[in-house]
Chain A
Amino acid sequence: MKILVTLGNVPDTTTKARFADGDTHLDMTGVQWIINPWDELALTRAMELKEDAANPVDHVTVVTVGTQEAEPTIRKALAIGADDAIRVNAEAKDAWFTAQQIAAAVKDQDFDLILTGIESSDYNGAAVGGMVAELLDLTSISAVSGVELNGNEITLHRDIDGGSETVQADLPLVAIVQKGIAKEPRIPAMRGIMMARKKPLQVVDPVEADALTSYNHFELPQPKPPCKMIDPEHVEELVSLLQNEAKVI
Chain B
Amino acid sequence: MGALAAGIAVGLAALGAGIGNALIVRGTIEGVSRQPELKNTLQTLMFMGIGLVEALPIIAVVIAFIVM
Mutual binders A and B: no
B-to-A contact residues, CB < 8 Å? none
